[in-house]
Structure 1
Amino acid sequence: MELSSILKPEAVKVFAAASSKKRLFQEIAEVAHTSHGFDPQSTVEALMERESLGPTGVGHGVALPHARMAGVEHVTGVFVMLEKPMDFGSVDRQPVDIAFTLFAPEEAGVEHLKALALVSRTLREQPLCTKLRANLDQTKLYAILTEAQSVQAA
């Protein structure tokens, strides 16, 4: 599995800020609607439901929100950079400025877990996150993400 199979260039966005987790999820839902055709309301509800089980902020300014949803055919994602980091209830209490959201079919098992592991491994690399934070151009962000994963696989 490669990031390029999960993430489309048009599913990479930069936002100035988000006033709350729900507002961020609404922004992500709009991107998911535009790039993948997902229903925005169902998307927000699925993300909020998953988040109620425990925060998906994994530390070092990174969050990995994810949800299983009806109508999703295969694991797919939305990548968002925030110019102004926000409180996300992360394990290390650091504000989040990188959010890689994954959506999976309701019955997805191993595929969903493999995608989460791939994204987590990729965004655990501090030099990569530094490079992402230095670039607020969506095309460059997509290239950095998909390039980094290709280099790791080699």
Structure 2
Amino acid sequence: MDLKTILLPERTLRCASCQSKKRTIEELSKIFSETLAGPSEHEIFDAFIERERLGSTGLGDGIGIPHCRLAACKQPTGVLLLLETPIDFDSLDKQKVDLVFALIVPQEANDEHLDILATIAGKFSSPEFRDKLRSTTTDSELFRAITD
């Protein structure tokens, strides 16, 4: 899967304001609601929090992949944040998270949801890939680094 199909430059950001997991999910919800027709910021936030209650989406190695399904979502959509200050994300390895790739998919897209998550997790499993993203200094560099 090509991440360019779900990620846009305006949804790829270096973020200094996210100082906690809740604040990060709020920021993600705001970005999604501003760039998607349909779901509200509140709807998106609630869906992410509901999913987090099932278990943390902190993968380890400083990576968080919050994700959810929403009926109001028409196509899979992603947001990538590189946090200036790593945050506690309840990861199994107890490492703080600084790379957050959030994903929203349509309610009925079960198989596609799992395929996209597998693609994202596979990319982020590479230390070289993570280092490449972390070494960027601008939003546009971050977008190019994840989509090249």
**Runs of 4+ in structure 1 displaced over 4 angstroms?**
none
Q: 1:56-75 residue pairs with structure 2 within 5 A? A: 56-75=57-76
For the residues of structure 1 that align with 2:131 and 2:19, how far apart are their CA atoms?
Answer: 23
Letter in 1 for 2:93: D
SS at match of 1:55: coil
- The 1:94–1:17 alpha-carbon spacing in structure 2 relative to 1, beyond 3 Å, is farther
How do 1:111-122 and structure 2 match up within 5 A?
111-122=112-123
Q: Kindly indicate whether the alpha-carbon contact (under 8 Å) linking 1:8 and 1:35 is maintained by their aligned counterparts in 2.
A: no
Q: For 2:141, what is the secondary structure of its paired residue?
A: helix
Partner of 2:56: 55
1:13 corresponds to 2:13: yes
**Structure 2 equivalent of residue 106 of structure 1:** 107
Aligned with 1:10: secondary structure?
helix
CA contact (8 A) 2:19 2:85 kept: no
Gaps of 5+ in 2: none
* Aligned position for 1:32: 32
User: Do structure 1's residue 144 and structure 2's residue 145 form an aligned pair?
Assistant: yes
Kindly indicate whether the alpha-carbon contact (under 8 Å) linking 1:80 and 1:99 is maintained by their aligned counterparts in 2. yes
What displacement does 1:109 show?
Answer: 1.3
Scaled by the length of structure 2, the TM-score of the pair is 0.95
Assess if the C-alpha contact under 8 Å between 2:58 and 2:97 holds in 1: yes
Secondary structure, counterpart of 2:93 in structure 1 = coil
Secondary structure of the 2:26 match is helix
Calculate the aligned-residue CA RMSD, in Å.
1.0
CA distance in 2 between partners of 1:36 and 1:138 (Å): 19
Give 1:144 deviation, angstroms: 0.6
* Larger CA deviation: 65-74 vs 48-57: 65-74
Query: Is the contact between residue 75 and residue 106 of structure 2 (CA under 8 Å) also seen in structure 1?
Result: yes
1:20 Cα shift? 2.2
TM norm structure 1: 0.91
Q: Counterpart in 2 of 1:84?
A: 85
What displacement does 1:14 show? Answer: 1.4
SS in 1 for 2:54: coil
The aligned amino acid for 1:139 is: S
Gaps of 5+ in 1: 148-154
Residue-pair matches, total: 147
| TM-superposed deviation, 1:2 | 1.0
